[in-house]
Chains A and B, each alone.
Chain A
């Protein structure tokens, strides 16, 4: 008996979904529970598991096709099985019955992209009464500590609903960053000009956008800038790489990540999150490293960098970044970060910038280009390689002084990098 895969309904408001990727081709063997296809709603990407063990017999909806909820998108059965009667049924019309044919597993292609959460823990007074929200959503928001003023409602009349609050709460408390309720934003009038290209603002792109807005609107940030003399650091990296084959070379970024871990050891508050009425200072030092991917960015997380050597950190960053570009990261590899490093060094065009914090983290380090500059060394003018560093921090929980202290520790590591190689 063949089993069907239909477009799942993932909420009362979902009307259609788009198939984004088939992991199996027609004729491929599949195992029950194995992810066979990914679908995208306006909010999120979901991975659908095979409902049975057998062969993928039919693919009815191809990649990038958008179809109504309940539509038959694939059939799994035994090789040679006749499934013609299945193909004549109108599953969209039988949606409620057919949805149970497949188990949706939330996977979140958007996970780790940019900053999560369109919500902040409550605690700041806010004009909540002016936001359209249902009574049940208000009650839930108060209970779980979500500030509804930052949510865009998806309910009737644009009201914030239980679903919106739940999603926001998951974003804040269950670190795996998930898209905030995008909600229907007021569509500006179409400009009457020739258009070169229309890029859909949805999925991961939209998730990044919503999180940036949420982060920027939630935390009052300050950015400290400094120019670091990285001559000793580059010498160390060069000496470490002198004996290494091409594929195993240590990156400068890995050395900076290790320096961050040592800096956090001196000023632990940098490695914290604001949860409701508590500031959680974390034991683990899990550093996210932002990776540019086509039309977006992903922040895979290197865990426990304080316990890893720079060689291992370098190897892990390389592995994670490669798989980020191939879109094969697992959810746990893009969640649980406590601090983020984002580098524009490779472009050679930026010294300093003001990165946006990746909530619920408290700080982010921007790494600029390495460029020869004039510096004073022991009273003498010298030309040295320098690196621009920019530390953005959440002033609700980190003051300017400890942030400066952290940067001082970081600079000290870069000036005496032999500690990094230990």
Chain B
């Protein structure tokens, strides 16, 4: 075990996969010479410009290239510098990559990873701060991964590379600097397994990505209130670990869902609907969602801070169930 930050852990995982499989390579804007968040620099230093390829500033080109390469048998890891640019690549991703396996009767595989950066918190304004995981989860054929810790990031990027389906890998920009113990060497986590980040008996807080960290901070506050909160990190949204949610709820009987994305049609609504359907008799209180409001992410630092859910809001939601 070594202490690594979130970005380093992803690079570690990518390097191991590139060593293991010569078909794995990285493609994107500035991934080689000047990575925006620094993640792939170590990959470039290790493997050079052939397997860590800079592209023109055209997300359409990146994705068109990557989908074609994956369909032809390579295993590209494409970087889309901000998740907000999903709109530019949506046809390649949602209409081509996601559907090929089905439309060609299972004869085609598209082993593609799209690494992309989400989230508010650095004053990057409305077009560079969104959390758009629900755009991805609403398209069958795509897997959606959103880790919250360096160890999970390492284990899940490896799993994403090895998966034969197109996978979107969401990295919250505020997580890059967070540090944690990461297993050395090859480390692969299963896709579709949630993880209890903190055990508790009074309420289940379901979240993913950076909101797991906010939920853990809220759980600390709640402990002082005498409330033992369980924090369940979904880690992957598609496929979803429904059993883990229902199992936890079976013990706590109260559910709060936390995500940074806006509320309406957010993935929290999907979790709430599943629980209302399959876990109705487990509920001892209404389901609460703590999310951003239904607005673009504000540029004003004061408003941006008010926009993003924090520990105090999560605590208040939990206490409203008592």
Contact = CB atoms under 8 A, between A and B. Distances in A.
A136 B253 contact: yes
Interface stretch (B34-42, B92-100, B218-226): B218-226
Contact of B286 (A9, A97, A139, A156): A156
B241 interface: no
Interface stretch (A55-63, A88-96, A394-402): A88-96
Contact of A134 (B223, B225, B284, B322): B284
Given A161-B285, A162-B253, A135 B223 contact: no
Nearest to B321: A156
A417 interface: no
B320 interface: yes
Contacts of B283: 134-136
A70 interface: yes
B282 A136 contact: yes
B322 A70 contact: no
B320 A12 contact: no
A156 B255 CA distance: 13
**5 tightest A-B contacts by CB?**
A96-B223, A9-B226, A139-B281, A136-B284, A134-B284
Contacts of B225: 95-96
B224 A95 contact: yes
A96 B322 contact: no
Given A69-B226, A96-B226, A96-B228, A156 B322 contact: yes
A159 B253 CA distance: 14
Nearest to B202: A12
A162 B203 CA distance: 13
B224 A135 contact: no
Contacts of A136: 253, 281-284
Nearest to B288: A156
Contact of B280 (A9, A93, A135, A159): A135
Contacts, number: 54
A377 B318 CA distance: 75
Interface of B: 202, 223-228, 253, 280-286, 320-322
Size band of the interface chain A makes with B: 20 to 34
B224 A134 contact: no
A191 B226 CA distance: 37
Contacts of A9: 226
B219 to A, nearest CB: 10
Nearest to A96: B223
Interface in A103-120: none
B226 A99 contact: yes
A27 interface: no
Contact of B284 (A69, A96, A155): A155
Nearest to A12: B322
A93 B224 CA distance: 5
A97 B223 CA distance: 8
A96 B282 contact: no
B227 A12 contact: yes
B226 A135 contact: no
A412 to B, nearest CB: 54
A151 interface: no
A156 B320 contact: yes
Interface string A146-164: 0000000001110101100
A13 interface: yes
Contacts of B286: 156-157
A183 to B, nearest CB: 14
Nearest to A142: B281
Contacts of A157: 286
Contacts of A97: 223
A95 B225 CA distance: 7
Contact of B226 (A95, A156, A159): A95
Nearest to A97: B223
22 contacts: A12-B227, A13-B322, A14-B226, A95-B224, A95-B226, A96-B224, A96-B226, A99-B226, A134-B253, A134-B285, A135-B281, A136-B253, A136-B282, A136-B284, A137-B284, A138-B281, A155-B284, A156-B320, A156-B321, A157-B286, A161-B285, A162-B284
Interface in A191-226: none
Nearest to B226: A9
Q: Indicate the member of B225, B226, B322 with the most A CB atoms within 10 Å.
A: B226
Given A70-B224, A70-B226, A137-B284, 19 more contacts: A12-B227, A12-B321, A12-B322, A13-B322, A14-B226, A95-B223, A96-B223, A96-B224, A96-B225, A134-B284, A135-B281, A135-B283, A135-B284, A136-B281, A136-B284, A155-B285, A156-B320, A156-B321, A156-B322
Nearest to B227: A12
Contacts of B320: 156
Nearest to B283: A135
Contacts of A162: 253, 284
A94 B224 contact: yes
A132 to B, nearest CB: 11
Contacts of B285: 134, 155-156, 159, 161
A136 to B, nearest CB: 4
A169 B202 CA distance: 21
Interface in A2-44: 9, 12-14
